[in-house]
Structure 1
């Protein structure tokens, strides 16, 4: 399979890219390899061509183009783009791919997809890690030298004009990957779908981190073996790979999102969170979360929710029908009752949804296909509801109702605490405002007190003195006879209240979500036990009483 990599460079030394293509470099440090006399060694086999430039004067010609268009003059501008097409190592033996043929394909690809740019195209036959895979380097100046015909992948009119920069949009990136696939398929080379997100995404940075880590580990283990000790670890594992292995282990048995988060924390000390439908994981040795998207599609919400549902369905299928009711009425775990503690309330939202009441669903009665679809969805939700009841240890339906009542009360208390903090913070902000107004005009008021003609001075500075007097009056009213607080004290109090407000808002949101989740569980349990009644019937019974 051929893959496409892209590197944007801000290095103003175009000659460095040319030296890398021609001379041997250490694959770990990327530094040139020198002989005994300190001279760089030429690569054993390489093929080099230039497009819209001479390959051996690429650096000078790029500098001329930049100067002509007055571009790439600042430090932060991207000076060049480096694309690498790496062919499958099997293509050399199975399909007779040679460096010369790969160079020809690379030239055609560069002319077609980077028109108007000065470009270096160089093919190497010495792949990383001794793989021997053939790969083509395409280095282009970020400034287009010539006008070209507009192409479908170009987003703006300027993308076809000279003097403008190479613009790699999402549509352009998809086009480039599609062209690599078409090129390999047309020439009978191995190829996979580059447009489908990888199940296990290994970035360039992670790849090299693993290689460097493994090299250091091997050196360390060799020293241990010399001392007669047996190494405990022989394979280096990146932080991302540690997360992948842990997620695969826990997801193989977890039946809900909440259980998944709990087991990750207990067994691997990994913190799990969901933000806007995106899964993120915090490695024990990190302070910044790693998203599931960075790990691969196997570690994102869509795949894992399907795994949880499948595990729950398998678990419920192994139990006899009577076990569902028994599990709801008798669970081994004690009911949770620690929500009133002073610690922050941590809540991981599950993916539970309401079970649809088919007897009162008009759409299901009108469409048999829709009814069948709802039945399958209901089975999954029932299985997840039973698993939820088991995990939280509700011993009876009364315990579940009590938990909902407590959650409602605690949600109300959290909302009131948040509102009180917000009101206090509003008052502090007003004090800061009037204290600033008071201090800004304090010196002027002192001059007014010392002036000989106070009436004239007051008339000349009426606005400032009025602001001073009103600010002083309001501050004294708020102080209620006490000493006026300093601006430093007020800002410190505001900082404290702001942090408290953030914590209280987070706790309130968590308790409110927990209350909503318990309502969903109670409704689903009523349907499972056959005690569910539509809202209209409940209102009728209330009026009858």
Structure 2
């Protein structure tokens, strides 16, 4: 049996024995696939050269950080390697390479970015915790002053009524001093209307809860930051990246002069 030929619109359709689908032959396929050209080939008047697909170029893979490190270790030369070898050993470098592999840090730029981000986050959490601790300490002191102020208010009112009598002061000195200290604290803080002890306790509880959450993340971020900075420092020493940057800075300073 031969090939079935049919026409649909301006396109010729071919179907050979065993084919499930037809093949459309038209000018959209490019040179060599028009009706006249196909007829010429079938008549033996022309030779058909199948169209070749363009080869897909494969992007050149980036040389990753591990390859650079291994090359440096194998070379075992240079001032950077000599300084590194005095402090570290191959076991430590192997641990660093394992860490880089496990965390997908196969490019130095990524390692540098991650280390910087971890440091920033750690510092942010540290600042948040310190701010919470500062405010909690303020609340504790303020709460004490408010309680003392309320407890000694009547005594101080009586002291004023007595015309600030020395005798009255001697008899109630402790309460009067507490009252004065509380008033001075309120003035220093610029407080015009005293907050309630209940509201201060609620704020303290909120701050304490937030501090506990932040501290849990703080410990994790501190560990992550230390690991990243240690890995980066190890790589920097071995590869001499720190030395290269120092040389670049010195060149820039020399050009500015």
The interval holding the TM-score normalised by the smaller chain is 0.5 to 0.7
Pick from 413, 420, 428 the counterpart of residue 131 of structure 2: 420
2:203 match: 493
Distance 1:384 1:396, change over 3 A: closer
2:57 match: none
The answer as to 2:139 corresponding to 1:434 is no
Q: Which has the higher helix share?
A: 2
Using structure 1 for the length normalisation, give the TM-score: 0.28
2:97 match: 382
Whole-angstrom distance in 1 between the partners of 2:62 and 2:100: 10
Give 1:518 deviation, angstroms.
Answer: 1.8
Using structure 2 for the length normalisation, give the TM-score: 0.55
Pairs aligned (count) = 180
Secondary structure of the corresponding residue to residue 480 of structure 1:
coil
Give 1:428 deviation, angstroms.
Answer: 1.1
Whole-angstrom distance in 2 between the partners of 1:359 and 1:544: 24
- Contact 1:385–1:525 at 8 Å: present in 2 too? no
Whole-angstrom distance in 2 between the partners of 1:470 and 1:509: 39
Residues 208-253 of structure 1, C-alpha deviation per residue, up to 9 Å, x if partnerless? xxxxxxxxxxxxxxxxxxxxxxxxxxxxxxxxxxxxxxxxxxxxxx
Listed as ranges, the matches of 1:327-406 within 5 Å are 359-361=82-84, 363=86, 374-389=89-104, 394=105, 396-406=107-117
The answer as to 2:246 corresponding to 1:539 is yes
Whole-angstrom distance in 1 between the partners of 2:98 and 2:62: 9
Q: Which has the higher strand share?
A: 1
1:469 match: 180
Distance 1:520 1:363, change over 3 A: closer
Whole-angstrom distance in 2 between the partners of 1:431 and 1:453: 26
Listed as ranges, the matches of 1:60-99 within 5 Å are none
- Contact 1:385–1:524 at 8 Å: present in 2 too? no
Consecutive unaligned residues in structure 1, runs of 5 or more: 1-322, 330-356, 365-370
2:230 match: 520
Whole-angstrom distance in 2 between the partners of 1:524 and 1:469: 60
- Contact 2:115–2:229 at 8 Å: present in 1 too? yes
